């Protein structure tokens, strides 16, 4: 499932990044690595997503959020 | 190969110039007694916004210097750190390297940071690096630390933001962190001066007994391949580069100059060995997302061909896995897993329903503040100049029996010019304070997120909204506002677009002309100018992007949002003052000089018998002559008359002066209220009727359009020069004049057929 389709409050595990090489490295450096735990904080006014990644808060546009594939995190 | 050789050659050349000029080190320039080479160098590195520069300031105090790194155009602050008591009586040279998220550089600034850590051939390398690590955002900061550990340079960790972390329920222990890392860790609170002595002690101990740090454990498979590659690269390139860093860089496919192709191939092979061998096991999993990705409209279709995993991802994963192991050992986060206040506020401020209204309200506040709030301050300054300053200057001039021309120049030229400049000071001060407040509070990042999609329509990031909106009040602070844009290309583009945003000074002229010529439809005409202004910003923006800024990539929004915090008066005040000071220095001279020049031109009589210097009627001055000379250029636009062109010339200096120049050219009283133009209206009507051969409406519209699109004022030019440089400012001015003239001619010619 795509991160874009998740709702505020959802707790997720990042599985794959389907983004271009340069963009991919930037996401990896910020901590968007496979296995990372995410939670959706809010959906932005124009389609973006505000996610919590550990103690950091990152805003993503809709397209990027659509390229991150996630699974519900059942452990939490 | 040739390229690599060239890169190596360039490097050698750079190094050679650096060796020839050992005086480049500004710290020693400043009369430091230390002999070069004896003062140990310590570098500060870390993520942006983790208190690195605050720490630098706290350690060096006033003993610092900001300047280009020798041979590079990268600004680096260097200073002398004199910790006490210490064996280093001459102190230490502290280098504040540009903040970066990783050692894979994306800008020349980040490249310098990486090169100083990994390239043993560079001069000025630090003996010890102090890595600032944000306790409130440990995982990402440890990721960067793991890259620094690979360089083998002795490391001391300065743990910052411990107080912020504690407020969020995170208890970070410096001792456990040091144990987990195998590296000295000192908690510091630079604002309060806490921990600085301990940091000095740790750094001096490391200098006395330098130990390479223990690299991050990336897991057995990755470590095995890395070890093999490390021993391979150590043979030929170990002298030049930090071997473990090079091995991992090659494994991730980073371009490193002077590395032979054979080694690259071996690194690629190692990378392939690390990836899951069986491609079929991944296939069923990727089938479903593939289909959704290709039918997604906002993603290019080639994404299906991207590798699911690559060595780069594996290394990043391993670094974060290590960071989380360290975290688990050093952080007590029992109290931290509840939503923070920032999260709760964000749920409201960025939400679907309230995000845009809140954003508009904030922008309205900024707009109101830069327009209405500034007015009483501007009036006060103006009254001060017109009253006491003018009286004092007059008294002095009379006392020294100054000739009439000198009094005229000083009173009308200089005092007038300074007055013009001073009216901008409150505007700029308010703008800078608001900018600093929005940035420091954390709202700016949210605003960028909220309107990202809207601004993307014209190919600009969300933040570009603010300067453009402020431009409707005044273009000058709007140009200063372009500094919120991180990307230089975006700054230049917005800086070139702002003049097309119709400011409130232009509004006064629209109102006068519209009420003289359009009667009850005056409002519609003025509104049309605003619509045209927006269309011009979008149109010219798209055009410039295609022609001048072709390489401006449409970057996706991936933006870290800082927690909300109360802005500190000290930070806001200091930042605002620095920017205001810079504005006055770069723009001040230009504005004063232009006002004085226009006064001079209007005071010098053209030919004899028209009255002496300063007593000549405007029509017969050099200024009037210039206006007459350029007037024919506006004949195709229907207003080829010296009255119009004279007001356009002063409009180049300031749009506020357009109406008063018009009045002066007709030698009538300037109307007290632009809605009731009186005798000026009558005079204007007869002029436009004559020049347009009866097509008055299109001629006036053409004049208004020209007024909208050409250079807003001298102050805008000066501010533009400060923000985007002389070359682009001149180019922009040329484009404005061309666009204004073409539009005016088009409006008149088409209009003349209709009316």
Chain B: closest CA distance from residue A63 (Å): 6
* Nearest CB to A25; choose among B312, B336, B339: B312
- The enclosing domain of A55 has a CATH number of 2.30.30.90
Q: How far apart are CA B743 and CA A16, in angstroms?
A: 52
DSSP label of B260? -
- Is the CB of residue A71 less than 8 Å away from at least one CB of chain B? no
Sorted by sequence, the CB contacts under 8 Å of residue B356 that are 6+ apart come out as A45, A46, B450, B451
Q: Which of A1, A23, A28, A76 to mutate to test the interface with B (most CBs of B within 10 A)?
A: A28
Confidence of residue B672 (pLDDT cuts 50, 70, 90): low
Nearest CA in chain A to B135: A55
How many percent of chain B have pLDDT more than 70?
Answer: 87
Q: What are the extents of the domains in chain B? A: 21-216
- Is the CB of residue B449 less than 8 Å away from at least one CB of chain A? yes
* Cβ contact, residue pair B289, A2, below 8 Å: yes
> What is residue B610's predicted lDDT score, i.e. its pLDDT?
60
> What is residue B66's predicted lDDT score, i.e. its pLDDT?
73
- Is the CB of residue B560 less than 8 Å away from at least one CB of chain A? yes
Contacts 24+ apart (CB under 8 A), B401-410: B404/B613, B404/B614, B405/B603, B405/B613, B405/B614, B408/B599, B408/B603, B408/B613, B408/B614, B409/B596, B409/B599, B409/B600, B409/B603
* Nearest CB to A64; choose among B137, B453, B556: B556
* Cβ contact, residue pair B347, A52, below 8 Å: no
> What is residue B569's predicted lDDT score, i.e. its pLDDT?
84
DSSP label of B32? -
- Is the CB of residue B451 less than 8 Å away from at least one CB of chain A? yes
Confidence of residue B283 (pLDDT cuts 50, 70, 90): very low
> What is residue B282's predicted lDDT score, i.e. its pLDDT?
43
Which of B 347-366 lie inside 8 A of A, CB atoms?
347, 350-356, 359
Does residue B578 carry a pLDDT above 50? yes
Domain that holds residue A39: 3-72
- Please count the other Cβ atoms lying within 10 Å of the Cβ belonging to residue B182: 12
* Cβ contact, residue pair B306, A61, below 8 Å: no
- The string of pLDDT tens digits covering residues B52-101 is 888 998 888 867 777 777 777 677 888 999 887 677 878 899 999 888 88
Lowest mean pLDDT among B247-256, B353-362, B549-558: B549-558
* Cβ contact, residue pair A57, B347, below 8 Å: no
Does residue B162 carry a pLDDT above 80? yes
Q: How high is the mean pLDDT of chain A?
A: 87
* Cβ contact, residue pair A59, B356, below 8 Å: no
Cis status of the peptide bond prior to B98, with omega within 30 of 0: no
Which of B 159-188 lie inside 8 A of A, CB atoms?
165, 168, 170
Q: For residue B452, which residues of chain A lie inside 8 Å, CB to CB?
A: 44, 46, 48, 61
Chains A–B, number of C-beta pairs less than 8 Å apart: 161
Residue B309 φ/ψ, nearest 5 degrees:
-140, 150
Q: Are B704 and B528 in contact (CB under 8 A)?
A: no
- B404 vs B240, residue with greater confidence: B240
* Cβ contact, residue pair A29, B316, below 8 Å: yes
Number of domains in chain A: 1
Q: What is the longest distance spanned by two Cα atoms in chain B?
A: 98
DSSP label of B606? S
Q: For residue A47, which residues of chain B lie inside 8 Å, CB to CB?
A: 453
- The string of pLDDT tens digits covering residues B289-328 is 443 443 444 444 344 444 557 888 899 999 999 999 999 9
Q: Mean of the pLDDT values across residues B504-520?
A: 84
CATH tag, B21-216: 3.40.50.300
Q: How far apart are CA B675 and CA B679, in angstroms?
A: 12
> What is residue B294's predicted lDDT score, i.e. its pLDDT?
39
Nearest CA in chain A to B145: A29
- Is the CB of residue A55 less than 8 Å away from at least one CB of chain B? yes
Please, what is the Cα angle at B676 between B670 and B681, to 5 degrees?
A: 65
Tokens (6 digits) for B149: 């550990």
Q: How far apart are CA B740 and CA B299, in angstroms?
A: 38
Q: Are B219 and B146 in contact (CB under 8 A)?
A: no
> What is residue B19's predicted lDDT score, i.e. its pLDDT?
34
Lowest mean pLDDT among B141-150, B414-423, B553-562: B414-423
Q: For residue B289, which residues of chain A lie inside 8 Å, CB to CB?
A: 2, 16, 18, 69
Does residue B430 carry a pLDDT above 80? yes
Q: Which of A57, A62, A67 to mutate to test the interface with B (most CBs of B within 10 A)?
A: A57
Residue A48 φ/ψ, nearest 5 degrees:
-80, 180
Q: How far apart are CA A6 and CA A65, in angstroms?
A: 9
Q: From residue B549, how far is each of B439, B722, B725, B728 by CA, in Å? A: 27, 20, 15, 12
Chain A: closest CA distance from residue B23 (Å): 38
Q: CA torsion sign, B460 to B461 to B464 to B468?
A: positive
Q: For residue B559, which residues of chain A lie inside 8 Å, CB to CB?
A: 58-60
Confidence of residue B586 (pLDDT cuts 50, 70, 90): low
* Nearest CB to B556; choose among A8, A18, A61: A61
Does residue B258 carry a pLDDT above 60? yes
Residue B656 CB burial class (10 angstroms; 0-12, 13-18, ≥19): middle
* Cβ contact, residue pair B320, A20, below 8 Å: no
* Cβ contact, residue pair A54, B137, below 8 Å: yes
- Is the CB of residue A17 less than 8 Å away from at least one CB of chain B? yes
Residue B240 gets the label, from left (phi > 0), alpha (psi -120 to 50) or beta, of alpha
- The string of pLDDT tens digits covering residues A4-56 is 999 888 999 999 898 887 788 889 999 999 889 999 998 887 778 999 998 88
Confidence of residue A75 (pLDDT cuts 50, 70, 90): low
* Cβ contact, residue pair B343, A31, below 8 Å: no
- Is the CB of residue B320 less than 8 Å away from at least one CB of chain A? yes
Q: Which of A4, A18, A23, A69 to mutate to test the interface with B (most CBs of B within 10 A)?
A: A18
- Is the CB of residue B452 less than 8 Å away from at least one CB of chain A? yes
Strands (E), B127-223: 128-134, 155-160, 171-172, 185-187
DSSP label of B37? T
* Cβ contact, residue pair B445, A59, below 8 Å: yes
Confidence of residue B11 (pLDDT cuts 50, 70, 90): very low
Tokens (6 digits) for B386: 């017109």
Q: How far apart are CA B435 and CA B441, in angstroms?
A: 10
* Cβ contact, residue pair A50, B350, below 8 Å: yes
- Is the CB of residue B218 less than 8 Å away from at least one CB of chain A? no
Nearest CA in chain B to A56: B137
Q: For residue B104, which residues of chain A lie inside 8 Å, CB to CB?
A: 25, 29
- The string of pLDDT tens digits covering residues B483-495 is 777 778 888 999 9
Burial B220-229 (b: 16+ CB within 10 A, else e): eebeebbeeb
Q: Which of B158-172, B261-275, B576-590, B727-741 has the highest mean pLDDT?
A: B727-741
User: Which ipTM was obtained for this model?
Assistant: 0.92
Q: Which of B313, B558, B560, B564 to mutate to test the interface with A (most CBs of A within 10 A)?
A: B558
Burial B88-116 (b: 16+ CB within 10 A, else e): beebbbbbbbbbbbbbbbeeebbbbbbbb
Q: From residue B482, how far is each of B65, B128, B559, B723 by CA, in Å? A: 26, 37, 18, 8
* Cβ contact, residue pair B557, A59, below 8 Å: yes
DSSP label of B369? I
- The string of pLDDT tens digits covering residues B100-143 is 888 988 777 788 899 999 988 888 889 999 999 999 889 999 99
């Amino acid at each position: 499932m795509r991160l874009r389709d998740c709702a505020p409050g959802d707790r997720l595990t990042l599985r794959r990044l389907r983004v271009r090489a340069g963009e991919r490295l930037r996401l990896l450096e910020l901590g968007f690595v496979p296995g990372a735990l995410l939670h959706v904080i809010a959906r932005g006014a124009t389609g973006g997503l505000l996610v919590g990644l550990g103690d950091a808060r990152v805003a993503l546009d809709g397209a990027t959020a659509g390229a991150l594939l996630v699974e519900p995190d059942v452990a939490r | 190969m040739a390229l690599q050789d060239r890169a190596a050659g360039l490097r050698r050349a750079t190094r050679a110039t650096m060796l020839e000029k050992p005086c480049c080190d500004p710290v020693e320039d400043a009369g430091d007694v230390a002999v070069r080479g004896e003062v140990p160098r310590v570098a500060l590195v870390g993520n942006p916004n983790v208190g690195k520069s605050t720490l630098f300031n706290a350690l060096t105090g006033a003993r610092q210097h900001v300047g280009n790194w020798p041979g590079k155009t990268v600004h680096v602050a260097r200073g002398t750190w004199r910790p006490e008591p210490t064996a280093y009586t001459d102190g230490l040279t502290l280098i504040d390297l540009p903040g970066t998220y990783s050692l894979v550089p994306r800008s020349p600034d980040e490249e310098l940071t990486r090169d100083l850590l990994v390239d043993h051939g560079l001069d000025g390398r630090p003996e010890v690096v102090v890595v600032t690590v944000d306790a409130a955002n440990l995982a990402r900061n440890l990721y960067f630390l793991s890259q620094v550990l690979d360089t083998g340079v002795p490391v001391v960790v300065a743990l910052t933001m411990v107080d912020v972390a504690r407020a969020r329920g995170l208890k970070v222990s410096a001792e456990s962190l040091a144990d987990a890392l195998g590296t000295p860790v000192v908690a510091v609170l630079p604002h309060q001066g806490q921990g600085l002595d301990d940091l000095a002690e740790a750094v001096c101990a490391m200098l006395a007994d330098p130990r390479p740090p223990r690299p991050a454990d990336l897991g057995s498979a990755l470590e095995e391949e890395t070890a093999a590659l490390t021993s391979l690269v150590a043979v030929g390139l170990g002298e030049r580069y930090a071997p473990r860093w090079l091995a991992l860089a090659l494994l991730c496919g980073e371009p490193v100059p002077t590395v032979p192709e054979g080694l690259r191939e071996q690194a690629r092979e190692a990378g392939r060995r690390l990836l899951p061998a069986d491609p079929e096991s991944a296939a069923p999993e990727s089938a479903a997302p593939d289909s959704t990705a290709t039918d997604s409209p906002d993603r290019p279709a080639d994404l299906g061909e991207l590798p699911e995993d690559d060595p780069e991802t594996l290394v990043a994963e391993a670094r974060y896995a290590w960071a989380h192991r360290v975290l688990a050992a050093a952080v007590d986060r029992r109290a931290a897993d509840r939503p923070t206040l920032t999260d709760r506020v964000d749920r409201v401020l960025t939400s679907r329903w309230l995000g845009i209204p809140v954003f508009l309200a904030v922008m309205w506040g900024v707009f109101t503040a830069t327009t209405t709030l500034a007015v009483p301050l501007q009036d006060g300054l103006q009254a001060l100049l017109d009253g006491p300053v003018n009286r004092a200057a007059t008294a002095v001039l009379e006392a020294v029996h100054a000739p009439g021309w000198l009094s005229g120049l000083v009173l009308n030229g200089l005092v007038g010019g300074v007055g013009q400049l001073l009216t901008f000071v409150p505007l700029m001060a308010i703008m800078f304070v608001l900018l600093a407040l929005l940035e420091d509070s954390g709202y700016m990042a949210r605003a960028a997120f909220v309107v990202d999609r809207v601004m993307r329509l014209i190919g600009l990031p969300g933040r570009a909204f603010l300067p453009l909106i402020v431009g409707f009040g005044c273009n000058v602070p709007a140009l200063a506002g372009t500094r919120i844009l991180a990307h230089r290309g975006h700054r230049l583009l917005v800086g070139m677009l702002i003049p097309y945003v119709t400011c409130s000074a232009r509004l006064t002229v629209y109102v006068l002309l519209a009420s003289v010529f359009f009667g009850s439809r005056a409002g519609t005409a003025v509104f049309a100018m605003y619509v045209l202004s927006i269309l011009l910003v979008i149109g010219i923006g798209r055009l410039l992007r295609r022609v001048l800024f072709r390489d401006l990539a449409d970057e996706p929004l991936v933006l870290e949002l800082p927690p909300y915090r109360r802005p500190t008066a000290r930070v806001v005040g200091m930042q605002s003052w620095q920017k205001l000071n810079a504005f006055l220095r770069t723009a001040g001279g230009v504005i004063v000089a232009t006002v004085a020049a226009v006064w001079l031109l209007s005071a010098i009589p053209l030919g004899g018998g028209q009255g002496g210097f300063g007593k000549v009627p405007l029509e017969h001055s050099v200024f009037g002559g210039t206006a007459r000379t350029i007037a024919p250029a506006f004949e195709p636009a229907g207003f080829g008359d010296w009255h119009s062109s004279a007001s356009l010339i002063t409009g180049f200096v300031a749009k506020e002066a357009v109406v008063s120049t018009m009045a002066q050219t007709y030698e009538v009283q300037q109307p007290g209220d632009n809605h009731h133009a009186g005798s000026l209206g009558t005079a204007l009507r007869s002029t436009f009727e004559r020049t347009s051969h009866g097509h008055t409406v299109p001629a006036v519209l053409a004049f208004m359009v020209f007024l909208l699109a050409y250079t807003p004022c001298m102050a805008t030019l000066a501010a533009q020069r400060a923000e985007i440089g002389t070359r682009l400012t001149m180019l922009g001015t040329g484009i404005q004049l061309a666009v204004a003239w073409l539009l005016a001619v088009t409006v008149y010619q088409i209009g003349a057929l209709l009316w």
